[in-house]
Amino acid sequence: MQSQNRFFDDLSKMLNGVAGTVAGVGREAEAGARERAKEWVGGMDFVSREEFEAVKEMASKARAEADALKKRLDALEKAAPKVASKSSAAKPAARKPAARKSPAKPAAKSQPKSED
């Protein structure tokens, strides 16, 4: 059963147009909000995931290297007392040189101003 009433046909066309317009406005508002959020977050100097992962990898390698150096230092320190006791009898400890004092500068003499 098809309606022959022109009023309802026009009303349905108008409502379809309004629905399309509202959907377009919604998409435009979402895009604008997304753009503003990107600008706001971009102004905060956040790093990207790739940069974060690269720095994390570098820190992990540096920590592993520091641990290896610590183990090596501990091994050398264990061996050091044996060597130090043998070499301490042969050589006395070195002295630090005394700090030099700079000579005092003589005070500048002030001369009276002559009036012309």
In this predicted model, what pLDDT tens digit does every residue of 99-112 receive, in sequence order?
666 665 655 555 65
Q: Write down the H helix ranges in the chain.
A: 6-42, 49-90
pLDDT at 1: 44
What's the CA gap between 34 and 26, in Å, rounded?
12
Confidence of residue 86 (pLDDT cuts 50, 70, 90): low
Token pair 């012309």 in the structure block, residue: 116
DSSP 3-state assignment of 97? Answer: coil
Per-residue pLDDT reduced to its tens digit, 31-84: 999 999 988 887 787 788 999 999 999 999 999 999 999 999 999 999 887 765
